[in-house]
């Protein structure tokens, strides 16, 4: 009886079990059967409960798997580091104001990892009064108030995202992060890996991308 009930629930909730299907491009696309990222884990959290409730944390199911597995790997390799993800996209994709992309479930913003004045890994503050973190501006030294960019945590995260993606047969297309701050990444032990595997933005974007970095994932979509 229990087995029958479980099977019935699984078949009735097929949309939950189905893989996502993306279409079009990150700038003009859609996604079906998108899933929400988890609100939090041992070493990560979302940028806003309000944004979660507003439906702004949906991604392609494979992107979710990549992200969660990367966080799990980081919990083992860097248990002292803390991470926060930000805007992703809507349940069905499409226009996602004020972003120009994030339309087919393959684009994700991550808040820049930071340390405080004691060198401890902490979250950037994200709330309605600083536009959920997007109004934060780092100086050329990677400093904002008492927070400083944690380049080791940032580089390690990008590396684990790439490893997680390629292990599943996918990849990262590009990472958008302020060119003026990228030099710090190449002072970490991950420099060679980043140079070989990661395509970073080389020109300033329409918004600075210093308080967050934008990752586009390479997952096959419908034409």
Structural domains of the chain ordered from first start: 2-218 (3.30.1380.10)
Whether pLDDT at 49 is above 60: yes
Between 140 and 6, residue with greater pLDDT? 140
7 has pLDDT over 70: no
Instruction: Kindly give the interhelix angle for 61-77 and 151-167, rounded to the nearest 10 degrees.
Output: 130
pLDDT band at 204 (very low <50, low <70, confident <90, very high): confident
Which pLDDT tens digit goes with each residue over 96-109? 999 999 999 999 99
**Arithmetic mean of pLDDT, 7-15:** 39
Element (H, E) at 191: helix 191-197
How far apart, in whole angstroms, are the C-alpha atoms of residue 140 and residue 81?
A: 23
- Per-residue pLDDT, 12: 39
CB-side neighbour CA atoms (13 Å) of 179: 7
CA distance 72 to 38: 13
The predicted model gives 166-189 an average pLDDT of: 97
Confidence of residue 207 (pLDDT cuts 50, 70, 90): confident
Residue 71 near residue 44, CB atoms below 8 Å: yes
Q: What is the number of residues in the chain?
A: 223
Rounded to a whole number of angstroms, the distance between the first and last alpha carbons of the chain is 43
- How is residue 3 written in tokens? 């087995």
Looking at the chain, the whole-number percentage of residues with pLDDT higher than 70 is 91
Does 195 score more than 80 pLDDT?
yes
DSSP string, 62-118: HHHHHHHHHHHHHHHH-TT--EEE-----TTBS--TT-SS--SS-EEEEEPPEE-TT
- Give residue 17's pLDDT band: very low, low, confident or very high (50, 70, 90): low
Query: How crowded is residue 193: how many other Cβ atoms within 10 Å of its Cβ?
Result: 16
């Amino acid at each position: 009886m229990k087995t029958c009930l479980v099977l019935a629930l699984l078949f009735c909730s097929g949309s939950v079990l189905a893989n996502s299907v993306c279409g079009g491009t990150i700038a003009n696309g859609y996604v079906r059967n998108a899933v929400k990222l988890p609100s939090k884990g041992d070493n990560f959290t979302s940028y806003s409960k309000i944004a979660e409730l507003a439906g702004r944390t949906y991604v392609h199911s494979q992107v979710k798997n990549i992200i969660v597995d990367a966080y799990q790997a980081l919990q083992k390799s860097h248990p002292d580091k803390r991470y926060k993800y930000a805007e992703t996209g809507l349940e069905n994709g499409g226009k996602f104001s004020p972003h120009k992309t994030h339309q087919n479930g393959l684009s994700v913003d991550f808040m820049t990892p930071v340390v405080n004045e004691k060198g401890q890994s902490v979250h950037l503050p994200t709330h309605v009064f600083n536009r959920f973190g997007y109004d934060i501006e780092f100086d050329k030294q990677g400093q904002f108030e008492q927070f400083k960019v944690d380049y080791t945590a940032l580089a390690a995260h990008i590396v684990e995202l790439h490893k997680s993606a390629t292990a599943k047969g996918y990849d990262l297309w590009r990472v958008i992060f302020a060119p003026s701050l990228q030099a710090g990444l190449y002072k970490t032990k991950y420099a060679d890996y980043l140079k070989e595997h990661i395509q970073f933005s080389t020109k300033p974007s329409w918004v600075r991308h210093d308080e967050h970095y934008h990752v586009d994932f390479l997952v096959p979509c419908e034409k």
